[in-house]
Amino acid sequence: MGKPTNVTNSIRALRFSANEMTQAGLADRVDMTRQTIIAIEQGRYSPSLEVAFKIARVFNVPLDEVFHYPEESSSTATSAKK
Amino acid sequence: MSFEEKVTWVNTVTTVIVVAIYAWVVGGQIAENPVADIAYQTPMLIAVGAIIGLTIAGVIAMAIGTAISAEITGEGSVDDIDRKDERDITINRRGDLVGYYVSSAFMIGALAVTMLDYAHFWIAHAIFAGLLVAGLTSSVVKLVVYRRGY
């Protein structure tokens, strides 16, 4: 089964670079459950924009350093411009 | 597993067990007696009460178990018990929406059974089945979404 969202993230790496912050620690900081942080890290849940900003703020980085969305293919991008 | 997911499991398991007992008690009489003579009212009220009561008791027991487990193992936290976030709320909404559609379909069936002058027994059971199936469907959708993600 494919992942339900195309949004990927670097939360795991950011947690490790932030003094190995635990999932529970991050959950407490953004007022979410640990299970939701796990689901976000595994790509099983895309958080709301508000929670995404909160997570980015915890690591003190811009939003697009935390969450990534794949680039559109060139043909799609070209047809969209027409 | 989040506390909300555990609550959904408790509700699902409780409903299945109570319905199985109800079906055994009342369903067994259908072959032997005319439905008009079957005293289903009291067992049905007991079943509804049991589902509500046992679910509440199960959730309380689970909360106590979670708190004790958090103290002993150090995994999780007592705070997790009443923490509910946007993911839980969205999953609940999705499950409830599907349950609403199922419930609506059964209510149309109950309406049809009433218009066709079926016995009260069948009308009551069409409504009862609607509530149970809607609740179970809603719970199963929630559990699947919790596991699979969206």
**Cβ–Cβ pairs < 8 A, chains A and B:** 50
Partner-chain contact A44 B77, CB within 8 Å: no
Q: What does the alpha-carbon distance between residue A82 and residue A60 come to, in Å, rounded to a whole number? A: 38
Query: pLDDT tens, A20-29?
Result: 899 989 999 9
| pTM metric for this prediction | 0.81
- The chain-wide mean pLDDT, for chain A, equals 85
Token duo for residue A31: 């007022």
Residue A21 in 3-state DSSP?
coil
Contacts of A3 in chain B (CB under 8 A): 149
What is the per-residue pLDDT for A1? 47
Q: What does the alpha-carbon distance between residue B59 and residue B150 come to, in Å, rounded to a whole number? A: 26
Q: What does the alpha-carbon distance between residue A24 and residue A18 come to, in Å, rounded to a whole number? A: 14
In chain B, domain spans: 3-148
Token duo for residue B134: 């809607």
Q: What does the alpha-carbon distance between residue A14 and residue A59 come to, in Å, rounded to a whole number? A: 7
Token duo for residue B80: 């997790």
Helices (H) and strands (E) in chain B, counts: 5, 0
8-state DSSP, A46: P
Cβ-based neighbour number of residue B118 at 10 Å: 15
- The chain-wide mean pLDDT, for chain B, equals 90
Torsional sign, CA A47, A53, A57, A59: positive
A66 pLDDT band, cuts 50/70/90, is very high
Query: pLDDT tens, B76-134?
Result: 666 667 778 899 999 999 999 999 999 999 999 999 999 999 999 999 999 999 999 99
Contacts of B94 in chain A (CB under 8 A): none
